[in-house]
Amino acid sequence: MSVLVNKDSKIIVQGFTGSEGTFHAEQMIEYGTNIVGGVTPGKGGQEHLGKPVFNTVTEAVEKVGADTTIIFVPPAFAADAIMEAAEAGIKVIITITEGIPVADMVKVANYIKNRDCRLIGPNCPGVITPGQAKVGIMPGFVFKEGNVGIVSKSGTLTYEAADQVVRQGLGITTAIGIGGDPIIGTTTKEAVELLINDPDTKCVVMIGEIGGQLEADAAQWYKASGSKKPVVGFIAGETAPAGRTMGHAGAIVGGSDDTAQAKKQIMRDCGIHVVDSPAEIGLKVKEVMG
């Protein structure tokens, strides 16, 4: 069992023949991910990395049954790429592109809200179900199969958490990098919910950061759900000064509830096992899983 992606996902790459798309598609294929083709307008009918290239996402859906896409399209065109995928009936849209204008993402959010699809990102490392599918830019060798789910705003901390879990003799069901932009498709709460509801995931690691309400919303949902699955939480940005954007566009302390300390307290109050350093994640996971 997994969430979002698995060995049966039929994955296309938008921006397939560009340098980023080519590099990461090669890595994904090498990992064993079921890449069925790619999309580059104007290059339809060609082959790239041994896979067919299509002019449109609709064509990829019709000809190879694509149901998942990963987007490596430049920021100015990425919003259109997301909406094209949604319109074509793609179910999981993973957007790696960084720097998409906020105004474009407002349009995307409105466009996809009544469609049967899930957007991950933008500005995210992607999603990996170890041993089945790597749909992203993460180093696949870090992730081993197991029953711990990971949700993170930070790519680097996703890899760090996975490495620590694996060092404790455990492994990962699915790791979801949700992205650090102000407007993202899937929230922390929605990603945590997917993993809590996955029967094979026995523990969830939730990595957040200063700014916004995503972690508080997830913590409150977890408490209200009555779930007995343990959740281990960490918030990055403890030393960030108020009002300054730190790394991610969404990581900015806007008020007293946005600070790392306030978020950690809310999480503790909701029954989440909070650690103060990313170095403690693996040990805490092992402890709460007994």
* 18 is an annotated ligand-binding site residue: yes
- If you search the block for the tokens 């103060």, which residue do you land on? 276
* Domain over 138-288 is classified CATH 3.90.25.10: no
d(CA 108, CA 89) in angstroms, rounded, equals: 15
* 20 is an annotated ligand-binding site residue: yes
Considering the four listed CATH numbers 3.90.1200.10, 1.10.150.530, 3.30.565.10, 3.40.50.720, the one that applies to the domain covering 11-120 is 3.40.50.720
* 225 is an annotated ligand-binding site residue: no
Judged against a pLDDT cut of 70, whether residue 33 lies above it is answered with yes
* Catalytic residue positions, numbered: 248
Tens digits of residue pLDDT in 62-113: 999 999 999 999 999 999 999 999 999 999 999 999 999 999 999 999 999 9
d(CA 140, CA 227) in angstroms, rounded, equals: 30
d(CA 222, CA 218) in angstroms, rounded, equals: 6
Tens digits of residue pLDDT in 254-280: 555 668 899 999 999 999 999 999 999
With H, G, I as helix, E, B as strand and everything else as coil, classify residue 127: strand
Judged against a pLDDT cut of 60, whether residue 252 lies above it is answered with no
Question: With bands split at pLDDT 50, 70 and 90, how would you rate the model's confidence at 249?
Answer: low
Domain with CATH 3.40.50.261 in the chain: 138-288
Closest CA to 206 of 241, 173, 238, 230: 230
DSSP 8-state code for residue 89: T
Judged against a pLDDT cut of 80, whether residue 227 lies above it is answered with yes
* 91 is an annotated ligand-binding site residue: no
Confidence at residue 211, expressed as pLDDT on a 0 to 100 scale: 82
Q: Bridge-partner residues for 37, per DSSP?
A: 12
d(CA 108, CA 78) in angstroms, rounded, equals: 10
Judged against a pLDDT cut of 60, whether residue 136 lies above it is answered with yes
d(CA 75, CA 149) in angstroms, rounded, equals: 29
* 17 is an annotated ligand-binding site residue: yes
Closest CA to 17 of 35, 43, 36: 43
Confidence at residue 256, expressed as pLDDT on a 0 to 100 scale: 59
